[in-house]
Amino acid sequence: MAHPKRKTSKQRRNKRRTHYKAAIPTVMTCPNCGATVQYHHVCPECGFYRGRQVIEKEASV
């Protein structure tokens, strides 16, 4: 069985786990107002989610 000659530092050990690519979140257009919305999230512009009003938005005057 192999024995390490020196202690592996935390920084060196953790560097081995960083080789990944961050995924870009999937977006869609809101069917109500046409704004860009992330999937499974309430539309920040109109407050609709899955065809119904979830958040009351004030009308801009």
Q: Phi then psi for 37, rounded to 5 degrees?
A: -135, 145
Number of domain units in the chain: 1
What single letter denotes the amino acid at residue 11? Q
Tell me the per-residue pLDDT of 27-54, one tens digit each, with 9 for 90 and over.
999 999 999 999 999 999 999 999 899 8
- Higher per-residue confidence, 42 vs 16: 42
Does 6 fall in a domain? no
Q: Is residue 3 part of a domain?
A: no
Domain that holds residue 42: 21-61
Give the whole-angstrom CA distance, residue 58 versus residue 35.
Answer: 17
What is the pTM (predicted TM-score) of this model? 0.55
Nearest-angstrom CA–CA distance, 2 and 31: 61
